[in-house]
Every structure is written in structure tokens, then in C-alpha cells.
Amino acid sequence: MLFTEIGLIRWLSTEVRIFSYVNNLVLLSCFLGIGLGAYYSKRKIYFSLFGYSLATLIFLIWVPISFSINGKSLHPFKDIPLLLSSFTDSFIWYESTMTATFFITALGILSTLFLFIIILLIFIPLGQLLGKLLDSHKNTIIAYSLNVVASIGGVWAFSACSFIYTPPWLWFMIVLAGLVIMLTYIINRTRNMYVSLALLAITILLTLFYPSEKPGLIKTVWSPYQKLELYPHPSRNPNINRGYLLNVNNVGYMGMLDLSDSIMNANPLVFDINRRKLSQYDIPYLFKNNPENVLILGAGAGNDVAGALRGNAVSIDAIEIDPGIYQLGKEYHPEKPYSNSHVNMIIDDARSFLKRTEKKYDIISFGLLDAHTSQSSYNNMRIDHYVYTLESFLEAGSRLKNDGIMTVAFEAPRPWIKMRLFNLLEEAFGHPPVAVKYSQNIFGWGGTMFVTAHNTTVLNLAISNDPLVKRFVGLYRENFENYPPEAKMIKLTVDDWPYLYLQKPHIPKLHLIIMGILLILIVAGKKIVLRKGVRLDWHFFFLGAAFLLLEFQNISKSTLLFGSTWLVNSFVITGILILILLANLIVAKFKINNVRLLYILLILSSLIVYFLPLDLFSSLDYWLRAIVVSIILNIPIFFAGMVFIISFKKTPFKDLAFGSNLIGAAVGGILESLSFIIGINALLLIVVVCYAMSFVFYRKAIAE
């Protein structure tokens, strides 16, 4: 189940891009499906539903069909959910340009809801089988522990697939093979089941042989983060090879540009070598000539590194989170920057590297780190969220030499995003940055370059002494004085509220609509879902809601500590599952039954995590700090695991308890959106309330 869940989240977040920004919607659908399945485990298990539903989902997204709205061709499932992005209170890259009319919004909601229901149906039979096995096993703790061990196996099996860059069709073939093996040993086969599995296999295999509709496609790579597609870079002159264009998740993302002296000099009528010096990749080296140590955060396919080499940098530390992008850059970039001996390539998260390094730099350059993918399968955080916070810029400043400069390049299509970055750098360095706008041209993308330093004298000297710098600043200066006064009051992004693409603290309309639909479905479907004479186990319901919020907390804070890499996420989830196993072991060995004391420890430890600042341990060595803080963060999960297994062992209706727990987890996922208003840390107060409600219903059940 966990392998299938992670695979669907990865695949859907790529092919239906709206799910890249509401990533936990797929997770909530999986949880509800498993929960409903466990709830109905005493009914006949229709495993054919799994095959038919998954085949339908793959077919609907894979089939290249389209229809027109306002003259624009749209895929009914890949593109329609993107229409929900037309709301202006948040930002999605390559969002819909259509006005958010009732008709367009309704289409987006209906298609998203339809996909949500199909995903839910996929997991119902798996949840039924799980509930039946848990309910019938003689030893509850052993049964649940085996399930947790298998979950760890699912996490690392998918991590292995990510490590070797496998495509989605192989993930689904693994799911199909596992399902066949499981069915062979567990339940009776039926003709209908064989038909559904055969249909699923054919659907998966057809995705391999269907002709591509992407002319010029050179290579497709499924990195651990996203889908990468390499194309020749479009050129006005067919005789000039500009390099390559890299698409991420089916939209344009970055170029691999040849801006070398050789191509400039060979084509003087097309290229101006002096104008190239004003490209976003060369600008930092106008302000600081011949730097000794350069740090590039978000090195991508190598354009910024090539610019540093043209700027005569002696030593370049290039940080890139996606190894797939680096490998493509190393193999295909026309200037071969990653083959240069002056370049030290480091695959890591930008914040993680800033926390670990003690090195000082002449230039720190923030490349285009804007992300098209989420940080984890378990929250709505984007990979770049923790890069553009006040704490991040303060950490970068601490790694900058006294006479060094720092640059931040960003393509901000909304004025308030540019103003926020301007204010962040002003707050971090104590004075306004030099903000210059560079136009989109043959030398790169368009956007704004912010240049700052510890001392304004460094910037002023560079501007006054170099005619080219003076020309650049004069031509492209961003006039922030013309921004409205309220722009200065825009909320700064911090580690507790890192939502760069959210204009102000509120729940975006996109999330509100989805939350509202899910809550309506849960409430309206109550009479249909609940078996006659049976109700949800509210004790387990609130345990589930609190657990998912607590898990969101731990993943967010742990990735801030270790980095937002895919491997870190696997370790974090594994750590949480191991703590649950440890809780099971202690309860089994020591016969602990004092649930009241465990609740006291659980709520107390949650409050400690809430009040304890992570910066308190900043003086410790990096790895020692990571270990100590991780233990503190996960103590509440340990106590919650003990409460769960003790309660689970005692309840006579384990299928109902497990189903209620997962449905509660889905509601907890909805409550996660409150962090857009109150911040991430304040969610712990909701966690405490949920655990308190869980205890109330536990006491009520005992009294009855």
C-alpha cells in the first residue's frame, strides 16, 4: 500500500500539475480509501476494483485527448484541474491565464473530484484486506508491527526505484506483480479479478509503446524529484546551436545555453559579447572581479557555473538538489562547466549546505531555485520554501566575506513576490539591495537580480568604478519606490511561515475549495458510509488527526534541519515508523496499561516541542545537533505510538478502529492548511487539542 501510495503521489504530481501544489490531496484520498476499506473489512473484498480503478486512472491521464475552452486546447484531466490556479491570492508556475469564472472553476473542481474518487477506490480493497487481517490475527501487537515493518519496506523499495531513475510504468508493474503474489496466497481468485489485472497490465504496457507527441525530444529522465525532458534549444538561426532546453514536469524550466567566447566571436552579427556580460549568469562577476571562492546555490544544469568560470573564479562550490538535472548538465551542457577542475559539485539542499559549511565566500549566488515540485509526499511545502526565508538569507550572509557580495536571481511574475524578496534582503543585511531587472533575451530568462553586501561601500564602488556595471544598473534598475506603501508592509517569509508564493497569511481559495469539498463529502456521506448501528471510533479518529499533523511538523522541521532531499524524507518517515515499532515492543514487553500517564507525557512533550526553539542547539556540532533535535521532535510520536497500540490491543473492533484512525488522519491532512494562517509551529497546539479530545473519548469508552 505504501509503495503504491508514494508512486501515485509522484506520478500524479507530475502529470496533473495541480497536484504538485496540493500534494497532500492524493495522500488524503489514499488515507480515506484505506480507512473506508478497513471500516468495511467484514464485507466481501472486490479486489477487481483495484485493477479496474488503477487502469482507468492511468488511461484517463495517458490518453492524448483534448477539447477547447475559450479557444484554448485542454486535456480533460491533465489541464482542467490547473484551471483552479486562476485565483490570484497564491501563485502556481505556468498557471492558467483564464479568468476564474463559475464555469471554469466548476470544471476544475469536478475533474479534480473525479480523480480523487478514483484514487480512493483503488485503496478500498487493500484497506479491506488489511482490516480483515488485523481483526483476525491472534496477537494484535505482532500483526500491527509486521504491518509497520512492511511499510518501511515499501518506503525503501520506492526509494530504490528513485535511486536508479525508474519510470512510472515500472512502478505500476511492481505494484501489479506484488498484488498477484499477494492474491495467490491470501484470497480466492475469480474470473473478474483476472480480467481486471489483465486490463491493468495491458494499460501499463501500452504507455511504453504509444508514439510520443513531443517532436524533438532527446531524452526523458525520472529523477528522484521530477520528470525531466531534454529538447534542442529553439534558435532563430538554424545554423547556430544554442544548446538545450530542459522541461520539468511537462513545462519549460531551464536552458543549457552556450554563452562561451567562441560562439560569441564566431557569430558577431548575432551575439554581442559585452551584452552577454549583462546576463543573469555573468552579472555577479561585474560587481566582484576575479573572485577566489564562489558559492552557487541552485546550480542546475550549469549556466551559473559557466558564468563563474567566465568570471575567472578560482574555486566554485556548486550546490544542486536534483542529481538528474546535474547529470544531464554534465553530459549535455555545451560549455561542459561540470568537467572543469575549478568546480566542486555537491548534491545537496541549499539550506542544508549553508548550515553545514564554515567556508567564507567572495560571491554567494542564488540561482533560479524556484521549484515546480513539493518537498514531501506528506505536506504542501515546496522544495524552495526554506531557501527564501529571513533565516536562510541570514545564514548565507554569515558565510559571506566582509567585502563579498550576494546575488539573488528570481523570475517573480507577481509584484508582491519581488517586494517580499527586496524586504527580506533589506532586513537581513540592514540596507536595501541593488535591484536590477534583466530582460528575457537570448542570454537567459527574464527576472530581477538583487545584489547586496555587508557593506554598501562595496556595491557603490563597483557601480561607480565600472562603466559596464553603471550602464547595467542604469538600464535595468527596479524602481521599488513606485510600489504602493502597503508593499513595504508585506509579511516576510520565515522558517515558521515559509510560504513565498502566498501573498498574505490566509488559506488560498484553491485550498479552501478543496477543503470544503472534502468536508462536505465526509459529512454528507456519513449516513452512506457508516454501517447501521455502528459509528466512528472517535478516540482513534482524533489519534489519527493528531498523528498526521504531528508527522507534518516533524517532516517540515527535520527537512529544515537536514535538507529537503528525497533521501532525507525517506529517513524521516523510516524514523517515525521505527519509533512506532519501539513503542509496540515496550508495550508488549512491559505490559504498560497506564494510558492516563502516557497522555500526560504525550501532551507535555508536544508542548515542549512547541516552546523549544531549535536555535537553542545551534552551538552544537551539526550532526550532534541533528541527532539531539530529531530525538526531541519525535518524542511525542513515541508516546502516541504507545497510546495507539494499547488502545488498539483492547478494542474488540480492530477494523473499525483502524478505519476511524485513517479517516481521522485524512481530516488532519485538511487541518494542515491552517499553517497558512497560524504558521507551522502553532499546529502543535491543534495537535494537543486533538490528543485531549482523544483522551476524552477514551475515558468515555471505558465508562460505557
Query: Mean pLDDT of residues grouped by 10 in the chain (704 residues)?
Result: 91 83 78 84 85 92 77 78 67 65 78 88 91 86 91 93 93 92 74 86 84 80 91 78 86 86 81 78 89 96 95 96 94 95 94 90 91 58 84 95 93 83 94 80 71 89 80 75 71 92 84 76 58 75 92 80 72 86 90 88 94 77 74 89 91 83 85 90 94 92 70
> For position 91, what pLDDT does the model report?
65
> By CB neighbour count within 10 A (0-12 exposed, 13-18 middle, 19+ buried), where does 568 fall?
buried
* Pairing status of strand 343-347 against strand 361-366: unpaired
At 123, list the grid cell: 485503496
DSSP state of 504: S
> For position 132, what pLDDT does the model report?
87
Cell 529538447 belongs to residue: 231
d(CA 250, CA 424): 32
> For position 541, what pLDDT does the model report?
92
> For position 529, what pLDDT does the model report?
53
Instruction: Output the CA torsion sign for 223, 226, 227, 228.
Output: negative
At 339, list the grid cell: 568537467
Cell 508556475 belongs to residue: 93
Report phi then psi at 162, rounded to 5. -70, -40
d(CA 605, CA 609): 6
> By CB neighbour count within 10 A (0-12 exposed, 13-18 middle, 19+ buried), where does 49 fall?
buried
Tell me the β-bridge partners of 244: 232, 256
In one letter, which amino acid is 679?
G
d(CA 463, CA 284): 12
Q: How far is CA 12 from the centre of its chain?
A: 13
Instruction: Output the CA torsion sign for 468, 472, 475, 480.
Output: negative
Cell 549535455 belongs to residue: 332
- Closest C-alpha to 424, from 450, 458, 462: 450
Q: Is 316 helix (H, G, I), strand (E, B) or coil?
A: strand
* Pairing status of strand 315-320 against strand 343-347: parallel
At 512, list the grid cell: 479552501
Cell 511537462 belongs to residue: 250
CA angle 17, 21, 22 (to 5 degrees): 105
d(CA 270, CA 268): 5
> By CB neighbour count within 10 A (0-12 exposed, 13-18 middle, 19+ buried), where does 204 fall?
buried
At 89, list the grid cell: 491570492
DSSP state of 497: B
Domains of the chain with bracketed CATH: 2-211+500-703 (1.20.1250), 273-371+390-489 (3.40.50.150)
Q: Is 72 helix (H, G, I), strand (E, B) or coil?
A: strand
C-alpha distances in Å from residue 137, one per residue of 33, 50, 141, 437: 22, 24, 9, 66
Cell 567585502 belongs to residue: 403
CA angle 454, 457, 461 (to 5 degrees): 130
Q: Judge if pTM exceeds 0.85.
A: yes
Write b or e for each residue in 270-294: b if 16 or more Cβ atoms lie within 10 A of its Cβ, otherwise e.
ebeeeebbbbbbbbbbbbbeebebb
> For position 554, what pLDDT does the model report?
80
Cell 561601500 belongs to residue: 457
